């Protein structure tokens, strides 16, 4: 009640070792994050302070006018996994902790903020990257040099996802502001905005689809619905802002109950969506009816990690070469429970394989991509590791009790991988991460370079690659060391 935080030495009972003063109201909640050497405190006037345990200094103060949380405090929880404060009043609010990267002289960054996505454009042979600071950058793949950049793409809101249209000439981005924007990304001109008439909520994934010569942009996110926008290029100058088509009746009645995190399309007319609660729904895009629900059983010998998002499925994808094979697994999901699942979506859906997607305990599978002939699956986890699996004959006509062959694995980043893309013509893998970098690798895991580094490379000349070196931050991070038996 006296608004002071006291730090004590357990072996000294006389007086506290430090007094942390600064709150103007009684302290309601206190949390000690030992790994970060931080103390988080919230007072009854909803003022939040972050303290340094060693220096006893207040690092930051967030006042009610900044976080805009209204109502009386009821409960508060700090999440280690997401590094965020969850605050319950008469509504729920999440305050994510944004850490400035600790830069070293030997560290190269691509963006000043965490990178949320990266994509390769086959038409222009360029790499496009987006960040939480709403900045879009274009890079030349062959040399790694920057071409162009523009900011405030979604105002102050982070860009959360992106894709290209079928021609590769337009970039489609989704943001935390709940809007989709279509860009002529070579000059930064916004051609069109897609948004709902009211209550725009965060978009998590977007895809571009053509059916019977009709073009559609489909987005999913926190509104738990499949939003379909008709992309008619002829009237883009007349209707700059467009609203989605009416929801499918089956979606409104029997659709997802939690946030939708990923969407994927399979020819000729199937659409799959995956949500935070571990459910995958496959849709018939022509009728709008649900084709099947996919909910896997818990894996054998699995122990609950009690993590935020333990059931979440961050990425799903279809194996297009198997689209018409009724006995084969055609859908791959990155979760739930940190396991990769292979599904046959016909006859109501059948689970054909289930295996751990990471060798690190507590890690979640963050992203996946598959090559064109569906022979190799590339995955990443929340600890920055990258894996290459051989799935050429995996789950083609039978259930598989064992995981596919793991060809390669390496650590590419010291934080979670946020996006992964494949440049098949050059046999290169792109990875972006919350550590503010986008890195290039060959398909065996040899380090080519980081976008933004001072020295350019020649993609056709392996002698210009960084290999056999590895990124400096990965090299010095203790988690990168292989596990050795105790002697």
Look over the chain and give the mean of its residue pLDDT values, rounded to a whole number.
Answer: 89
Q: How far is CA 454 from CA 106, 110, 144, 419, 451, in A?
A: 11, 11, 9, 23, 9
* Band of residue 438 on the pLDDT scale cut at 50, 70, 90: very high
For residue 205, the cross-strand partners are 220
Q: From the centroid of its chain, how far is CA 41?
A: 29
470 in a domain, yes or no? no
Task: Write out the two tokens for 10.
Answer: 């357990």
263 in a domain, yes or no? yes
Q: Do 19 and 161 sit in the same domain of this protein?
A: no
Least confident of 76-85, 221-230, 352-361, 392-401: 76-85
SS3 call for 457: coil
Q: Do 227 and 350 sit in the same domain of this protein?
A: yes
Cα gap 76→375, rounded to integer Å: 46
Q: How far is CA 228 from CA 18, 282, 316, in A?
A: 57, 15, 19
The domain of 325 spans: 148-409
Question: Is the pLDDT reported for residue 369 higher than 70?
Answer: yes
Listed in order, strand segments (DSSP E) in 22-62 are 27-33, 38-43, 48-52, 58-62
CB-based contacts of 255, cutoff 8 Å, min separation 6: 224, 225, 226, 248, 281, 290
235 in a domain, yes or no? yes
Among the candidates 356, 384, 409, a domain finishes at 409
SS3 call for 403: coil
SS3 call for 317: strand
* Band of residue 306 on the pLDDT scale cut at 50, 70, 90: very low
Among the candidates 96, 131, 159, a domain finishes at 96
35-67 tens-digit pLDDT: 778 888 888 888 888 888 888 888 888 877 666
DSSP, res 270: E
Q: Do 160 and 74 sit in the same domain of this protein?
A: no
Classify residue 436 as exposed, middle or buried by CB count within 10 Å of its CB (0-12, 13-18, 19+): buried
Question: Is the pLDDT reported for residue 15 higher than 50?
Answer: yes
CA 288, 289, 295, 296: dihedral to nearest 10 degrees? -90
Question: Is the pLDDT reported for residue 207 higher than 90?
Answer: yes
213-224 tens-digit pLDDT: 889 999 999 999
461 in a domain, yes or no? no
Classify residue 235 as exposed, middle or buried by CB count within 10 Å of its CB (0-12, 13-18, 19+): exposed
CATH of the domain at 322: 2.130.10.10
Nearest alpha carbon to residue 203 among 216, 222, 217: 222
Cα gap 148→121, rounded to integer Å: 14
Are 183 and 189 a contacting pair, CB within 8 Å? yes
446-479 tens-digit pLDDT: 999 999 999 999 999 999 999 999 999 999 888 8
Q: From the centroid of its chain, how far is CA 298?
A: 23
Q: Do 255 and 343 sit in the same domain of this protein?
A: yes
Q: Do 178 and 290 sit in the same domain of this protein?
A: yes
Listed in order, strand segments (DSSP E) in 346-442 are 350-356, 365-370, 376-381, 385-390, 405-411, 417-423, 428-433, 438-442
408-419 tens-digit pLDDT: 999 999 999 999
* Band of residue 248 on the pLDDT scale cut at 50, 70, 90: very high
* Band of residue 483 on the pLDDT scale cut at 50, 70, 90: low
Cα gap 131→110, rounded to integer Å: 9
For residue 7, the cross-strand partners are 18
What is the mean pLDDT of the segment spanning 232-239? 60
Instruction: Report the side by side order of strands in the sheet with 447-450.
Output: 417-423, 428-433, 438-442, 447-450
Q: Do 158 and 252 sit in the same domain of this protein?
A: yes
250 in a domain, yes or no? yes
Q: Do 185 and 326 sit in the same domain of this protein?
A: yes
Question: Is the pLDDT reported for residue 70 higher than 80?
Answer: no
How much is the pTM? 0.83
Among the candidates 375, 409, 443, a domain finishes at 409
Question: Is the pLDDT reported for residue 307 higher than 60?
Answer: no
Give the chain's domain count: 2
CB-based contacts of 453, cutoff 8 Å, min separation 6: 108, 144
124 in a domain, yes or no? no
Q: Do 165 and 87 sit in the same domain of this protein?
A: no
Q: Do 90 and 239 sit in the same domain of this protein?
A: no
211 in a domain, yes or no? yes
Q: Do 54 and 154 sit in the same domain of this protein?
A: no
CATH of the domain at 11: 2.40.10.360
Percent of the chain exceeding pLDDT 90 equals: 63
487 in a domain, yes or no? no
Residue 71: predicted pLDDT: 76
**Looking at beta carbons, which pairs linking 403-409 to residues 24 or more positions away fall under 8 Å?**
403/353, 403/355, 403/356, 404/353, 404/355, 404/377, 407/376, 408/443, 408/444, 408/445, 409/359, 409/385, 409/445
Q: Do 92 and 174 sit in the same domain of this protein?
A: no
């Amino acid at each position: 009640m006296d608004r002071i935080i006291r730090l004590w030495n357990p072996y000294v009972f006389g007086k506290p070792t430090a007094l942390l003063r600064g709150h103007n109201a009684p302290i309601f909640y206190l949390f000690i994050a030992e790994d970060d050497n931080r103390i988080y405190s919230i007072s009854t006037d909803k003022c939040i302070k972050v303290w340094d345990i060693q220096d006893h200094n207040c690092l930051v103060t967030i006042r009610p006018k900044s976080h805009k949380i209204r109502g009386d405090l009821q409960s508060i929880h700090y999440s280690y996994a997401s590094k965020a404060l969850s605050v319950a009043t008469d509504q729920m609010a999440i305050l994510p902790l944004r850490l400035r990267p600790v830069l070293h002289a030997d560290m190269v960054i691509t963006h000043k903020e965490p990178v949320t996505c990266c994509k390769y454009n086959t038409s222009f042979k360029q790499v496009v990257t987006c960040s939480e600071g709403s900045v879009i950058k274009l890079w030349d793949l062959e040399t790694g040099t920057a071409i162009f950049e523009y900011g405030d793409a979604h105002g102050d809101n982070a860009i959360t996802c992106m894709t290209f249209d079928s021609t590769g000439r337009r970039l489609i981005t989704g943001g935390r502001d709940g809007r989709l924007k279509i860009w002529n990304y070579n000059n930064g001109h916004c051609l069109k905005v897609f948004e709902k008439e009211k209550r725009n909520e965060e978009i998590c994934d977007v895809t571009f689809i053509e059916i019977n010569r009709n073009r559609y942009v489909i987005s999913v996110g926190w509104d738990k619905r499949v939003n379909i926008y008709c992309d008619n290029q002829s009237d883009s100058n007349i209707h700059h802002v467009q609203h989605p088509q009416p929801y499918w009746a089956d979606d409104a009645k029997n659709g997802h109950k939690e946030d939708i995190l990923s969407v994927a399309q399979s020819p000729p007319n199937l659409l799959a969506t995956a949500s935070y609660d571990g459910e995958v729904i496959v849709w018939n895009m022509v009728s709008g009816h649900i084709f099947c629900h996919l909910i896997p059983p818990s894996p054998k010998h699995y122990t609950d990690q009690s993590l935020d998002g333990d059931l979440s499925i961050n990425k799903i994808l279809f194996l297009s070469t198997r689209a018409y094979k009724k006995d084969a697994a055609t859908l791959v999901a990155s979760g739930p429970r940190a396991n990769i699942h292979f599904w046959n979506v016909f006859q109501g859906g059948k689970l054909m394989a289930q295996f751990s997607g990471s060798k690190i305990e507590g890690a979640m599978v963050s992203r996946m991509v598959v090559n064109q002939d569906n022979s190799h699956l590339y995955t990443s986890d929340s600890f920055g590791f990258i894996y290459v699996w051989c799935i050429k004959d995996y789950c083609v006509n039978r259930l598989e009790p064992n995981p596919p062959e793991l060809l390669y694995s390496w650590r590419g980043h010291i934080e979670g991988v946020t996006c992964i893309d494949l440049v098949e013509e050059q046999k290169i893998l792109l990875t972006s991460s919350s550590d503010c970098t986008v890195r290039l690798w060959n398909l065996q895991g040899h380090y080519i370079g980081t976008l933004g580094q001072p020295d350019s490379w020649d993609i056709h000349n392996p002698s210009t690659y960084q290999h056999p070196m590895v990124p400096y931050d990965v090299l010095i991070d203790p988690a990168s060391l292989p596990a050795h038996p105790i002697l």
